[in-house]
């Protein structure tokens, strides 16, 4: 990379705000990469590049140039035979591209890709992280556990801190894309869901006219653990990616199996004294398998208890609010309505979005 190109480098967030026909240069870590073939059997590549402000996905067509700039000399590479290109995921690259239109949506086409010095530009330095501080999330997490009564509280402390699941839980991503797909995303999402679910439960427990018999501890435990399976479904290398287990089993099944194993282990360790009773284990486990709310979205069963319905709604709300925030952050100037979001079948309105702070 020349000094001139370095000065024109844009972040992924800046690129996502560019109008069509704009050109750009980006430097980031490859989070996804795969070779494909068009209808004429010509090779092209799908690529996703991440930096600390987000991610862009694009295409590298057969006519694009590949350059090695990690050695003393700069030279072109053959993408079909170069081992560095086959193993591009998790590596830092520079890329020149253009914003084009495809099915009324912006698409990013890369016409030149540069393999750069991995020591000078370490991949982990470009990985996006949760905007919430780790200290704040841990404080909220422990506060939620403290709000539970025994034996739920003791079980959660055992699971997260004695079994040391916390070691991974506070850095893991909540997804590969879509929502909270960054370092610390799983903890940020879990705390947010648990906080909302607990607030809803408390509103019904405070004399709202319906005696539902809600168990606040079950709600909080189910919310904090609802995505437990993502510890096996995803990994960081250094960007979020799906594991083999996640690809063929999905996180709901993985999470339920792990939860039941840990509950059984906890009961044996306690010798039956002070452990979780069978109904509590079943109630929390039911939240794990039903939290997506419908079979269409991957839950093998639908929420059948007040606690499960509360957690499922809080989970769905946190996902949609995250999508609103991400889409609205791309709006510039006087524009108030986002582009159409196919996954959620809607456009978002900026409404009273918080003012952006200057860096």
H/E stretch holding 320 reads helix 306-328
pLDDT band at 355 (very low <50, low <70, confident <90, very high): low
pLDDT band at 222 (very low <50, low <70, confident <90, very high): very high
Contact assessment for residue 205 and residue 197, using Cβ atoms and an 8 Å cutoff: no
Cα separation of 17 and 115, whole Å? 25
For the chain, the average pLDDT equals 90
Please state the φ and ψ torsions of residue 28, each to the nearest 5 degrees.
-170, -175
pLDDT band at 102 (very low <50, low <70, confident <90, very high): confident
In eight-state DSSP terms, residue 183 is B
Instruction: Establish how many alpha carbons lie within 13 A of residue 352's alpha carbon, considering only the half-sphere containing its beta carbon.
Output: 0
H/E stretch holding 271 reads none
Q: Where are the alpha helices (DSSP H) in 147-225?
A: 152-157, 166-169, 185-205, 216-225
Residue 331 pLDDT: 85
Domains and CATH numbers, the chain: 3-124 (2.40.50.140), 134-323 (1.10.3210)
Beta strands in 92-149 (DSSP E): 92-102, 105-115
Please state the φ and ψ torsions of residue 230, each to the nearest 5 degrees.
-70, -15
Q: Is the pTM of this model over 0.95?
A: no
- Quick: pLDDT tens for 130-186: 999 999 999 999 999 999 999 999 999 999 999 989 999 999 999 988 899 999 999
């Amino acid at each position: 990379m020349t000094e001139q190109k370095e000065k024109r480098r844009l972040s992924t967030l800046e690129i996502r705000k560019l109008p069509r026909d704009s050109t750009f240069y980006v430097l980031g870590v490859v989070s996804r990469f795969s070779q494909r073939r068009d209808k004429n059997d010509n090779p092209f590549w799908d690529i996703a590049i991440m930096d600390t402000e987000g991610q862009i996905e694009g295409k590298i067509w057969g006519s694009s140039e590949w350059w090695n700039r990690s050695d003393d000399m700069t030279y072109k590479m053959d993408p079909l035979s170069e081992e560095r290109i086959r193993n591009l995921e998790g590596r830092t690259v520079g890329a020149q591209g253009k914003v084009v239109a495809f099915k009324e949506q912006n698409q990013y086409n890369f016409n030149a890709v540069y393999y750069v010095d991995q020591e000078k530009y370490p991949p982990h330095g470009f990985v996006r992280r949760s905007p919430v501080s780790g200290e704040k999330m841990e404080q909220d997490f422990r506060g939620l556990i403290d709000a539970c009564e025994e034996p739920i509280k003791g079980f959660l402390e055992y699971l997260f801190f004695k079994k040391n699941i916390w070691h991974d839980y506070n850095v893991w991503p909540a997804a590969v894309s879509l929502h909270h797909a960054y370092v610390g995303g799983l903890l940020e999402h879990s705390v947010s869901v648990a906080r909302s679910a607990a607030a809803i439960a408390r509103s019904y427990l405070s004399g709202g006219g319906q005696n539902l018999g809600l168990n606040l501890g079950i709600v909080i435990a189910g919310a904090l653990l609802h995505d437990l399976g993502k510890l096996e479904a995803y990994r960081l290398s250094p960007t979020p990616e799906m594991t083999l287990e996640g690809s063929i089993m999905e996180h709901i099944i993985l999470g339920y199996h792990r939860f039941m194993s840990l509950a059984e282990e906890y009961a044996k360790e306690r010798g039956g004294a002070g452990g979780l009773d069978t109904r509590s284990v079943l109630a929390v486990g039911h939240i794990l398998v039903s939290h997506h709310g419908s079979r269409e979205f991957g839950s093998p069963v639908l929420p059948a208890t007040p606690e499960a319905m509360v957690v499922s709604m809080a989970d769905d709300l946190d996902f949609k609010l995250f999508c609103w925030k991400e889409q609205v952050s791309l709006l510039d100037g006087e524009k108030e309505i986002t582009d159409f979001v196919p996954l959620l079948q809607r456009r978002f309105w900026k409404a009273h979005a918080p003012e952006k702070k200057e860096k």
